[in-house]
Amino acid sequence: MGIDPFNEWNASYEILPGKEKIIIELKKIAKEVNHIYLATDLDREGEAIAWHLRKVIGGNNTNFSRVVFNEITHNAIIKAFKFTKKLNINYVNAQQTRRFMDRIIGYMISPLLCKKISRGLSAGRVQSVAVKLVVERERKIKSFVSEEYYKLYAYLKNSKNLPLTLQVTHKKEKIFKPKNKNKIKLAIDILKKIDFFVINSFEKITFSKPSAPFTTATLQQAANVRLNYNIKKTMLLAQQLYEAGYITYMRTDSTHLSQDAINMAREYILKVFGKSYLSKKERKYTNKNNLQEAHEAIRPSYINIISEKKIKNLKLDAQNLYNLIFNQFIACQMMSAKYNFINITVKADNFKLHTSGRTLLFDGWIKIMPLLGQHYNDKILPILKIGEKLKLIKLIPNQCFTKPPVRYCEASLVKELEKKGIGRPSTYVSIITTIKNRGYVHTIDNRFYAKKIGEIVTDRLEESFNELISYDFTAKMENNLDLIAINQQYWKNVLNIFFKKFLQKLEIAKKDPKDGGMQLNKSVITDIDCSICKKKMMICTTSTGVFLGCSSYTMNIKEKCKNTINLIPKLEILNIIKNFNLKKDILLPQQYCHNCNTIMDCYIIYGQHNIFYICGKNPLCNGYKIKKSNLNHIITTKCKKCSYNMYLKQGCFGNYMLCINDTCKNTIKILSKSDIATL
């Protein structure tokens, strides 16, 4: 681990292989100068890097000074060198606390997961919580049962013959949401015979304020939603913009703007858009209760680099991100958008009908930031008098179905992590990258799907280390790190308290499952015969996926059989055959385990194309079902070269379509989104 938690947390730091030459050069240069300035990033990690540099270069500590700046501009750098600082050891201790804790969790739990569940697994203080979020959402979606309901709309006209559409919202002061056709027909029959009267009608002016300038998390979310950039790409481009001097420091929790920045934005608005678009008062955004960093929000370094013009030496993607940052910065000092809001309520006996709409009167900040403006639809409504009678034209019922929770995308996952106080802006990229690389989750169309191994690991950690992967623990730990950074807590005390509880949980988890230890990831034996040795196949779950493996694999070398059969998840099949307009519920209906009544996971047995259902509680439950299917004839397409059928195949690089004509053997790659590629 490089640390000794049993001996005052002594750490052993070593130079990374291949970096020795850089260290030798730094030491050589250091001997030739009188003073050394450490100008690493201004967060805790940057402070720790500066501390390590001082340690590795060596010499008298008085020969070192710390300079910090959050923008690479002439004025900021000159100012930083005028007001030099000493290294903040409290920041260093906070960073070490986080790193030591992550090492303890990673190096001591990961081997346990590899031993009890599968090779190649790992745990982490933040990554395991991120996986838990995705798994919980996955299970809510799986267990969701869609329900039918109806909305009823009335098309009316007033005395001036102006059309009006309202929704029937209440019946006898209760929400009107009938769940079958009979109830909706009964309501229609009643409404056709009664009169409609206006009981409430008013209009008012409403305003929409601009959002605060970007923090790291909100920039990642905006770039993901508006530019379709993943957060890794966003941070890479932001780093390039910062190093080129175009934007201020890109890792920040702060929405604060300096007075110079506010003045810069307001002068630009006055010059380009005019006085009517400039907010009457300066908009100042308060920071969250954040003790780690005290720098500005992400903004342009110079306002004279106009966003609409091309920036030299930067590619289009970087320019688009700069435009987003530039526009958000300017928008935050512009006037609010102005709307005319109209609300109408109509009564018909025991029924209430309602509609509302708003029209944009003045665009304000939306003029420069339309992408992030609130969604609005111009809905022109007539002004009605209270007591006015309306004429019914027709009633139209609308059949609806309740929808499951939406899957996380990168933007919404980062937002949820930020909301729960989990992780820091600088860690979101590594969190998402890690949980993908470990095989716990995967993405389709920028949406996260939990893999079976991710569910198993989450369950085992929940059973053995429930406090560790609770949302409160991770958030409280971030608060402790902040307190260490301002010297209100001693870092080793925080580590000692954590480690004492952790060791107790770890020792219990190591025990046999019968004695309360972590459950094993046992393979479930099936009735399927191995095509090679005729022994029974078993359901195996590893970091690479779920598959059927021969049960003799665990025997001695002479009798060992390595035969496996791939299982294709239902999701992949549905995405591949969506081009054929098949009904998913008929093709792959949901099943419940006959042992525990849990929803079963659905797979296709590769080569046979039979449907294979596995209990969602596998491996703790051994329930499974096999159903014959005609998928072999469904998952086909015509070859454009010879008109023969093409069938689904699996290779080392994924799924593909293969022509059955031996003289053709044409192939079509299945793209990452599971669409069939064109020839």
For residue 428, what pLDDT is reported?
A: 87
Is residue 373 pLDDT above 70, yes or no? no
Q: Using CA atoms in the order 122, 125, 130, 131, what is the torsion angle rounded to 10 degrees?
A: 30
The highest-confidence range among 166-170, 358-362, 652-656, by mean pLDDT, is: 166-170
Task: Label residue 548 by pLDDT band (50, 70, 90).
Answer: very high
Task: With cut-offs at 50, 70 and 90, classify the pLDDT of residue 634.
Answer: low
Question: Helix H segments across 350-467?
Answer: 410-419, 428-437, 452-464
CA proximity to 61, closest of 86, 39, 83, 41: 86
Q: What is the mean pLDDT of residues 626-648?
A: 75
Helix (H, G, I), strand (E, B) or coil at 234: helix
Q: What is the pLDDT of residue 674?
A: 38
Closest CA to 318 of 253, 249, 219, 239: 239
- Dihedral (C-alpha) 245, 250, 254, 255: value to the nearest 10 degrees? 60
Q: Read off the pLDDT band of 633 (50, 70, 90).
A: low
How many other C-beta atoms are found inside a 10 Å radius of the C-beta of residue 354?
A: 14
Give pLDDT, residue 70.
78
- In this prediction, residue 82 carries a pLDDT of 92
- Count of helix runs (H) and strand runs (E) in the chain: 18, 24
Q: Compute, in degrees rounded to 10, the torsion defined by CA atoms 592, 454, 135, 570.
A: -50
Q: Please indicate whether residue 334 or residue 76 has the higher confidence score (pLDDT).
A: 334
Round to the nearest angstrom and report the end-to-end CA distance of the chain.
51
- Give the model confidence (pLDDT) of 173-220 as tens digits: 899 999 888 999 999 999 999 999 999 999 999 999 999 999 999 999
Backbone angles phi, psi at 627, to 5 degrees: -125, 135
pLDDT confidence tier of residue 678, bands split at 50, 70 and 90: very low
Q: Give every CB contact of residue 604 below 8 A, 6+ residues apart in sequence.
A: 567, 568, 570, 573, 610, 611, 612, 629, 631
Q: Is the pLDDT of residue 259 over 90?
A: no
Of all residues in the chain, the percent with pLDDT exceeding 90 is: 50
- pLDDT value of residue 572: 75
Split at pLDDT 50, 70, 90, the class of 292 is very low
Q: Half-sphere exposure of 506 toward its Cβ, with a 13 Å CA cutoff?
A: 17
Positive or negative: CA dihedral 453, 456, 462, 465 = negative
Residue 583 corresponds to which tokens in the numbers above? Answer: 């009904």
Which of 289 and 112 is assigned the larger pLDDT?
112
- Residue in 91, 242, 249, 408 annotated catalytic: 249
The pLDDT of residue 449 is 92
Whole-angstrom distance, CA of residue 459 vs CA of residue 549: 23
pLDDT for residue 611 is more than 50: yes
User: For the residues of 277-317, what is the DSSP string, one character each?
Assistant: GB-SS----PPPS--S---PPB-BS-TTS-TTSPPTT--HH
Domains of the chain: 3-87 (3.40.50.140), 111-143+422-515 (1.10.460.10), 148-209+337-401 (2.70.20.10), 216-331 (1.10.290.10), 524-629 (no CATH), 635-679 (no CATH)
**The tokens of 548 are what?**
């059927």
249 flagged as catalytic: yes
Residue 73's pLDDT band (cuts 50, 70, 90): confident
Q: Which of 91-95, 239-243, 604-608 has the lowest mean pLDDT?
A: 604-608
- Say if residue 584's pLDDT is above 60: no
Q: Is the pLDDT of residue 167 over 90?
A: yes
The pairing of strands 600-605 and 610-615 is antiparallel
Which range among 99-113, 376-390, 474-488, 644-658 has the greatest average pLDDT?
A: 99-113
The answer to whether the peptide bond before residue 619 is cis (omega within 30 degrees of 0) is yes
Give the span between the Cα atoms of 664 and 284, in whole angstroms. 68
- Max CA-CA distance within the chain? 98
What DSSP line would sit under 485-542, residue for residue?
A: HTTSS-HHHHHHHHHHHHHHHHHHHHS-GGGT-PPP-PPEEEEEEPTTT-PEEEEEEE
3, 10 Cβ separation under 8 angstroms: yes
In percent, the amount of the chain with pLDDT more than 70 equals: 90
Q: What is the mean pLDDT of the chain?
A: 86
- Residue-level pLDDT at 45: 87
**Chain segment 495-524, per-residue pLDDT in tens:** 999 999 999 999 999 999 999 999 999 899
Partners of residue 205 on adjacent β-strands? 340
Distance CA 125, CA 477 (A): 10
Gap between the Cα atoms of 174 and 377, Å rounded: 28
Write down the pLDDT at residue 655.
Answer: 72
Name the DSSP class of 334: B
Neighbour-count burial of 336, counting CB atoms closer than 10 A to its CB (0-12 exposed, 13-18 middle, 19+ buried): middle
pLDDT of residue 465: 92
SS3 of 389, please?
A: strand
Alpha helix positions (H), 513-661: 570-576, 584-587, 631-634
Q: Give the residue from 386, 287, 290, 285 showing the smallest Cα distance to 328.
A: 285
Check if the beta carbon of residue 509 is closer than 8 Å to that of residue 517: yes
- As a whole number, mean pLDDT of residues 243-265 equals 88
Q: Does residue 69 come out as left (phi exceeding 0), alpha (psi in the -120 to 50 range) or beta?
A: beta
Tell me the pLDDT band of 471, cut-offs 50, 70 and 90.
Answer: confident
Q: What mean pLDDT is predicted for residues 596-614?
A: 85
3-state secondary structure 10-29: EECCCCCCCCHHHHHHHHHH
Stretch among 149-158, 408-417, 622-631 having the lowest mean pLDDT? 622-631
pLDDT band with cut points at 50, 70 and 90 for residue 610: confident
The mean per-residue pLDDT over the stretch 619-625 comes to 91
pLDDT band at 291 (very low <50, low <70, confident <90, very high): very low
- CA distance linking residue 429 with residue 236, whole number of Å: 10
User: Per DSSP, what are the bridge partners of residue 153?
Assistant: 167, 396
What is the average per-residue pLDDT within 144-150?
Answer: 90
Judge whether residue 112 has pLDDT over 90: yes
Q: What is the predicted pLDDT for the residue at 245?
A: 86
What are the tens digits of pLDDT across the range 410-431?
989 999 998 888 877 778 888 8
Backbone angles phi, psi at 167, to 5 degrees: -100, 140
**Tokens standing for residue 2:** 């490089």
pLDDT band at residue 576 using 50, 70 and 90 as cut-offs: low
